[in-house]
Amino acid sequence: FASIKLLTSGNVFIGAKIFSVTSQRNYKVAVVGASGGIGQPLSLLLKLNSLVSHLALHDIAPITPGVAVDLSHINTPCRVTSHKGPEQLAEAIRCASVVVIPAGIPRKPGMSRDDLFKTNAGLIRDIAKAVARNCPQAILAIVTNPVNSTVPVAAEILRIEGAYDGRRVMGVTTLDVVRSCTFIGELNGVDPTLVSVPVIGGHSGSTIIPLFSQSSPIPNVCSLADIRALTTRVQEAGSEVVQAKAGGGSATLSMAFAAAKFTSSVLRALSGEKNIVECAYVASGLCAPAFFANPVLLGQYGVERNLGFNCISPFETEILRNAMPELLKNIQTGYEFVYRRN
Ligand code: NAI
């Protein structure tokens, strides 16, 4: 057998044996929205992750039991269970260490992430309530857009239910980092898996702020106009996919990769591995918005330390300042939804 490196798990297959860099590999992960465009490839990648011993797939779609049977035929040790409809959500998430949520409607051409808000905020509210009542210790990884608003909705519902722990609620912004690394890899002619770029702010349009001044390597561009164009490309990359799919949805495969990478990092940190850092949209005491994306050190309870950001360039300072009103508005939209409906 050739050696195959599984990027999502941090483990290495050699022949029929799996050598793990971590000691524990028995976590239950629930995917809520598992039958969707993101949910299916995400579940596939998680089925390959040796830290996951039980993958609980939840969705309202009739295909859900079929997705679970399909995945269950893959010869990895992880058990796969299927849970369909609101009445089976509780059993899907009970005792889960991580609940990943890609449930919801995606964008169509001409729609902004905010256009999704009403539908998606409602389902995030219901899922957060179920988490509070059935697995308050779980770490929530929220993929559902608009992340800038759905994360405050989940946090506030958990608070109302008496189950809020800011360390455990994270919006998944990994795709912004993945894209930034890919674009620098192309530009610099280097392996994109070796590139690192912190992305701060939020997860929509102008609130996505890639810090190219802190990337490694720094981009091979000469002018501020080039940096501006690269920044815009990252900010608009989601729309690039929406337009290319011409009504068929938004990013699914790259998002599944990003969410699997993020979940793997969360699990590795849970299992005691040190120095695991990911960018995520989390409760923040570092600046004016109550939620903000930046690098966080992951640990046994989710966010161990918010690493914040510093030494950003004058251009980055300018776009961050311009993004603040939008981010604050998005967070407020989340709060208003919770208190209008409860
Ligand atoms: P999709 O429509 O293909 O899949 C969504 C799935 O959620 C469907 O299977 C649907 O049946 C299920 N669902 C709907 N309501 C549910 C509920 N109450 N409980 C359980 N499952 C439910 O959509 P896709 O493309 O997978 O996108 C999902 C979400 O992810 C969208 O909100 C999209 O905007 C967001 N997204 C987030 C990104 C990020 O970077 N955070 C990137 C790309 C998309």
Concatenating the DSSP letter of every residue in 176-205 gives: HHHHHHHHHHHHHTS-GGG-B--EEE-SSG
Instruction: Report the alpha-carbon distance of residue 146 to residue 158 in Å, rounded.
Output: 18
Helix 117-134 vs helix 314-341: crossing angle, to nearest 10: 70
- Point out the ligand 1 atom lying closest to the alpha carbon of residue 34: 9
Share of the chain above pLDDT 70, in %: 92
Nearest CA among 69, 241, 81, 266 for reference residue 167: 266
Give the pLDDT of residue 274. 97
Q: Mutation test of ligand 1: which of 142, 176, 250 has the most ligand atoms closer than 8 Å to its C-beta?
A: 250
Instruction: Express each pLDDT in 81-102 by its tens digit.
Output: 999 999 999 999 999 999 999 9
Instruction: Report the alpha-carbon distance of residue 323 to residue 342 in Å, rounded.
Output: 29
Contacts of residue 238, defined as CB under 8 A and 6 or more positions apart, other chains included, come to 107, 113, 175, 250, 251
For ligand 1, atom 16: residue with the closest CA? 103
Whether the pLDDT of residue 287 is over 80: the answer is no
Give the pLDDT of residue 23. 60
Whether the pLDDT of residue 12 is over 60: the answer is no
Question: Is 113 annotated for ligand binding?
Answer: yes
For ligand 1, atom 39: residue with the closest CA? 143
Output the ligand 1 site: residues, CB below 6 A: 32-33, 35-39, 58-61, 102-107, 116, 120, 123, 143-145, 147, 172, 175, 203, 249-252, 255
Q: How far is the CA of 146 from the centre of ligand 1 (A)?
A: 11
For ligand 1, atom 25: residue with the closest CA? 37
For ligand 1, atom 29: residue with the closest CA? 144
Instruction: Report the alpha-carbon distance of residue 10 to residue 19 in Å, rounded.
Output: 10
The ipTM of this complex is 0.99
Instruction: Express each pLDDT in 24-74 by its tens digit.
Output: 669 999 999 999 999 999 999 999 999 999 999 999 999 999 999 999 999
Candidates 58, 73, 83, 203; catalytic one: 203
Classify strands 11-14 and 17-19 as parallel, antiparallel or unpaired.
antiparallel
Question: Is 205 annotated for ligand binding?
Answer: no
Q: How far is the CA of 48 from the centre of ligand 1 (A)?
A: 21
Question: Is 59 annotated for ligand binding?
Answer: yes
Candidate from 17-31, 169-183, 237-251, 264-278 with smallest mean pLDDT: 17-31
Q: Identify whether 203 is a catalytic site residue.
A: yes
For ligand 1, atom 9: residue with the closest CA? 36
Q: How far is the CA of 101 from the centre of ligand 1 (A)?
A: 8
- Point out the ligand 1 atom lying closest to the alpha carbon of residue 143: 41
First to last CA, the chain: 57
